[in-house]
Amino acid sequence: MLLPRIKEQLHTEPAQFVEQEIKELVRTSAANRLAFLDDYVMWAEPLVRFADGDDPIFSEYKTIIAPSHLTPREALAQAYGKSPAELPPSLSVVSWILPAVAETRKSNRAETRVPSRLWSHTRWYGEQFNNSLRQQMVTLLTGMGYVAVAPAAQPYFKTERNEKGPYSNWSERHIAYAAGHGTFSLSDGFITERGIAHRCGSIVTDLMLPASPRTAASPFSNCLFYVDGSCQACIARCPAGAITEHGHDKIKCQQYQRDIGYSPAALKGGYDNDTSVAGCGLCQTKVPCEDRIPAKIGKKKRG
């Protein structure tokens, strides 16, 4: 049962309410802590932004990603067993960025072949927290009478493959781009004002939220390489040779994470989870974009 005070704030200041709620859950949730590691906190204070659920960019993703990529309206409609037209006239998307804490980034910086245990824990347990955050935000909003869904946690969420490698029908980075959180990069990672070492999540709802502006000069302008051809630090960091001047080879990256890098000898004591989801992220640490935007103003080289 929600307190009347909470209901009041949700109606009068919905954007502040949603942002505060996500920050509070990240700050206080036991799921953001590793009980077996002295309650180690995995995620620092999140970034929260919003997009208009009917922003035309979501339809563009059907060309940029694949026809199967869902618009927010389709994602909500599928979850409620309705047609997109039957939904309320306005929809909002809430997108958040969970920055890895400094200690985790530092530990991965020291690695050259496989991820540090802290990074790997953050990949595994940190995504479990991300999922609980998705679920708690949906429960909160539906409890208030709104419709809401976390597409990446729905049974219809899927990862498919094309000649370039895997892609999903709800790409959290493209949702974050729509909400103005930042841009893509040479390594494919998504560079926000808190850098590239993060995970992201989102929900769709009919709660009216003001769309955050997209201010980036291009979909790649936070990356130094696309500003002036410099940097390329991620190329040298990748143990799989998956990053070149031509971009990120998803097939090589995935293959490395699955088979090559994680021989028992490389595990340094092992990970807690299946090595196929141990992660890697060497290209997201010990690079100028690790925890900031290295290029504030982008000359448009691509996109």
Q: Does 40 bind ligand B12 (CB under 6 A)?
A: no
Provide the 10 A C-beta neighbour count for residue 165.
Answer: 16
Q: What Rg, from alpha-carbon coordinates, does the chain have?
A: 19
* Those residues with Cβ within 8 angstroms of residue 288's Cβ, 6 or more apart along the chain or in another chain: 224, 231, 233, 294
Residues 169-198 interacting with ligand B12 (rule: CB under 6 A): 170-174, 177, 184, 187-190, 196, 198
Closer CB to ligand B12, 14 or 201, in the complex:
201
Q: How far is the CB of 292 from ligand SF4 (least distance, A)?
A: 10
Closer CB to ligand B12, 92 or 169, in the complex:
169
Q: How far is the CB of 224 from ligand SF4 (least distance, A)?
A: 4
Measured in whole angstroms, the distance separating CA 4 from the mean position of its chain's CA atoms is: 33
The entry of ligand B12, ligand SF4, none that residue 105 binds, CB within 5 to 8 Å by partner kind = none
Give how far Cα 187 sits from Cα of 8, 76, 114, 131, 249, Å: 44, 31, 17, 25, 9
The entry of ligand SF4, ligand B12, none that residue 262 binds, CB within 5 to 8 Å by partner kind = none
Q: Does 99 bind ligand B12 (CB under 6 A)?
A: no
Q: Does 281 bind ligand B12 (CB under 6 A)?
A: yes
Q: Is 176:200 a contact under the CB 8 Å cutoff?
A: yes
Q: Does 254 bind ligand B12 (CB under 6 A)?
A: yes
Beta strands in the chain (DSSP E): 33-34, 40-41, 47-52, 92-99, 148-149, 159-162, 165-168, 182-183, 191-192, 198-205, 243-244, 247-248
Q: Can you give the binding site for ligand SF4, defined by CB under 6 A?
A: 185-187, 223-225, 231-234, 237-238, 240, 242-243, 248, 253, 256, 280-283, 287-289, 294
Closer CB to ligand B12, 187 or 275, in the complex:
187
d(CA 95, CA 179) in angstroms, rounded, equals 7
> For binding to ligand B12 (CB under 6 A), which residues are involved?
64-65, 115, 123, 130, 152, 159, 165-168, 170-174, 177, 184, 187-190, 196, 198-201, 219, 248, 250, 253-254, 279-281, 283-284, 303
